[in-house]
Structure 1
Amino acid sequence: MNPTATALRAGWSRGLIELRQTLTNGGDLFNHFFWPVLMLATLFFLRDVSFEQSGFMLGALALPSILGMNAAMGMVTMSQILTADREDGTLLRAKATPHGMQGYLVGKVVSVSGGLLVDVAIFLIPALFLISGLSVGGPGPWLTLSWVLALGLVATLPLGAVLGSVFTSTRSQGLLTLPILAMIAISGIFYPIAALPEWVQWIAQGFPIYWLGLGMRSALLPGSAAAVEIDESWRHLETAGALGAWAVLGLLVAPVVLRRMARRESGSTVAERRERALRRVG
């Protein structure tokens, strides 16, 4: 039997088990509901606010953008999980198994992606009843939503694995949160990016969060809403190209970085990190 196929199958099974555990654990369920409920509260206050003289409601413009932001935040989740597993020795055990790192990575992609889809459903279903002005009739919008979401996950989750390999402690993950929040602030999530200075627009277009938000807006908003976007267009080709480029970069870099990180892991390094953690607690 092909060992790679065995590792992939094991990773798939592991991911489904981890996903099921998050959906039956009280603390994890709270985390699944907290962010979507918070975003729904934000939409509630934006639902009747108009963007300048365009006639479009900020709530309708923000809803699909928030979906894109949630997908992009998957790289933060991936980074945090990988760092925690590195710290407690889980990665060391995966390293000791033939093709264990490959199976581990597949499992994490499956569990994190599944959790994100649950979060999207928790947010999107009630939001469709809360916000008016969306264009969700027919299969077209849902097909666009599907390919943007799938490509966005492939573009961001490997980057999360790379970031998780860089950080050596869960305590240092706060260094990642602030830059991500800064990218969200300039990516047109809560306010159309066309209203921001041009140099900010160029920076935002260099990161996947903007393109995820744009792709989601193109799926759920009427065509006339493109008037408040850059070039007054949904730019589907550019969206696919930008997310595809990030996906290729992540898929090329992540395995190399993970292999190098795994080679540095040993029982002594895990024990040393555990001893440092105990000293901090003491």
Structure 2
Amino acid sequence: MNPTTTALRAGCSRGLIELRQSLTNAGELLNHVLWPVLMLVTLFFVRDVSFGQSGFLLGTLVLPSILGMNAAMALVTMSHLLTVDREDGTLLRAKSTPNGMVTYLVGKIISVSGGLVVDLAIFLVPGLFIISGLAVGSVGSWLALTGLLALGLAATLPIGAVLGSVFTSARDQGLLTLPILGMIAISGVFYPVTSMPEWVQWTAQVFPIYWMGLGMRAALLPDSAVGVEIGESWRHVETVCALGAWAVLGLLLAPVVLRRMARRESGSAVARRRERAQRRVS
């Protein structure tokens, strides 16, 4: 059998095992449930708030945006997991195995994507009972949502792998939190971006979180809701192009950065990181 095919199959098996473990471990299961529940609480309190003169409730506009935000946040999860595995020597073991890095990355993509789908389901299913006015009665809406989710993961997971290669300690991942929160704040997740200054609107459109939110709103909201968007358009082509550009950028950068990171990995480097972690604990 082709070595690459063997590595891909092993990666899929590894990813499914990791996903099953995360859904059966009490601590990780709590992580899967906690964030969707917090978002549902937020959604509950804004469900009856009107957005200006649009005739739409803020909760109806926010639900798809939160779905897009969670999908884009997969890059944070990917970055964190890769950094943790680098710190504890998992990546070093993968490097020493034939096609081990391919197996490792495929496994991480499967486990992170599967975990994200679970998180979105935990949020979306109750959310449909809390929020009214969504256009979820057609197969086209669900197909658009599924396609956008796949494109969004292609745009964010490679970037997450690149970011994970930059950090040498899981504690340093906190440096990623503030910029991500800033992107969320300006991307129209909790309030339409058209209510913000024009320079903020242009800045938001640089990052994938805005485009994921816009795509989700286009899939789940009625056509009349387009009036609250920039240019009063769902901009389907621009959404695909923007997320596609991020996907291409990530797919070009990730292999190069990961190869360089793998070359620098050694037993002594892992040992030094463990010593620093032990000193911080003591």
| TM-score normalised per structure 1 | 0.99
- Deviation per CA, 1:103-151: give whole Å up to 9, x if none: 1011000000000000000000010010011111110110110111110
TM-superposed deviation, 1:252: 1.1
Aligned match of 1:49? 49
Aligned match of 1:153? 153
Mapped partners of 2:261, 2:95: distance in 1: 10
TM-superposed deviation, 1:281: 1.7
Tell me the SS of whatever aligns to 1:23: helix
Is 1:75 aligned with 2:75?
Answer: yes
User: After superposition, where does 1:10-89 map in structure 2 within 5 Å?
Assistant: 10-89=10-89
Aligned match of 1:163? 163
User: After superposition, where does 1:100-249 map in structure 2 within 5 Å?
Assistant: 100-249=100-249
Aligned residues: 282
| Structure 1, gaps ≥5 residues long | none
- Deviation per CA, 1:217-253: give whole Å up to 9, x if none: 0011000000000010101110000001101111111
- Deviation per CA, 1:164-220: give whole Å up to 9, x if none: 000111111000011000000000000000111111111100000000000000011
What code does the residue aligned with 2:160 have? Answer: G
Tell me the SS of whatever aligns to 2:24: coil
TM-superposed deviation, 1:12: 0.5
Mapped partners of 2:252, 2:264: distance in 1: 20
Tell me the SS of whatever aligns to 1:189: coil
What code does the residue aligned with 2:100 have? Answer: G
Aligned match of 1:94? 94
CA RMSD of aligned residues (A): 0.6
Mapped partners of 2:280, 2:227: distance in 1: 54
TM-superposed deviation, 1:280: 1.7
Aligned match of 1:270? 270
Mapped partners of 1:280, 1:68: distance in 2: 37
Mapped partners of 2:178, 2:281: distance in 1: 25
What code does the residue aligned with 1:137 have? Answer: G
Structure 1 outlier segments of 4+, above 6 Å: none
- Alignment identity in percent? 77
Mapped partners of 2:127, 2:279: distance in 1: 47
Mapped partners of 1:278, 1:229: distance in 2: 50
